A = this chain, B = another copy of it.
Amino acid sequence: MPRTVETLPAPDRVAPEEPEGRSAPRAAGPVPSPRRAELVNAAARLFSERGYHGTSMQHLGRALGLQRGSLYAHIGSKEDLLFDVVDGGADRFLSMARRAASSGGPAAVRLRALLVGHVNTAAQHLDAATVFLNEWRYLSPTPRAEIQAKRDLYEGLVRRIISDGIASGEFSPGVDAAMAGRLVLSAGNWIYTWYRPDGAMSAAAIGMELSDLILDGLTKEGPP
């Protein structure tokens, strides 16, 4: 029995998955055709397996049973697909993190909620997460800046939780919030390289164990 589940209360579901005003109207943007969604899914899978530059329109067409030229009935360019996959991944991580960060309670609880949520999100959309982390840099400057902004927001949320914890005395005052934030992001972002859905541990369990290791390091006082 690992000590995991005892060190801190579990986040037990961070929030009920956003009711958020804008549900019925669906104001902006054309309703995405189901065929286009299929295409984006296939792109997530293929880009994550073969890389963006290693995936051709031929590959994508074959995945849907179409000729490569036919794909242009649904997209403007190959890069549109990359952006859709990457942006979708960014939004999932970001909205999860916002829920975790704003959930109130001790910083340790919020940080755990964020890390567990991160691992869960990566696990549930492993392809998109892989593309989000690996291939976003191949976007051309304008869309890449858009993604960079979301990454910065995400990192800011993590760092804020840690600073809060230091300010409130929960975390050791010697902790460098920037470095601790990077440690959390490292643990979360490296997951996609080794997590496999058929592995021994569930994503939630992994998130809990990582939280334990990291939170112990943050709360421990230095030696006398």
Q: What residues of chain A have their CB less than 8 Å away from a CB belonging to chain B?
A: 2-4, 6-7, 51-54, 134, 138, 172, 174-176, 179-180, 182-183, 185-187, 189-191, 193-194, 206, 209-210, 212-220, 222-223
Contact = CB atoms under 8 A, between A and B. Distances in A.
Q: Within the oligomer, what is the number of copies of this chain?
A: 2
B222 A179 contact: no
Contact of A6 (B3, B213, B222): B222
A176 B2 contact: yes
Nearest to A209: B179
Nearest to A194: B182
A179 B215 CA distance: 14
Contact of A213 (B138, B185, B214): B214
A150 B173 CA distance: 39
B214 A183 contact: yes
29 contacts: A2-B174, A3-B172, A3-B174, A4-B174, A6-B222, A6-B223, A7-B222, A7-B223, A51-B51, A51-B52, A51-B53, A51-B138, A52-B53, A52-B54, A53-B53, A134-B134, A176-B209, A179-B209, A179-B210, A179-B213, A180-B213, A187-B187, A189-B190, A216-B217, A216-B218, A216-B220, A216-B222, A217-B217, A220-B220
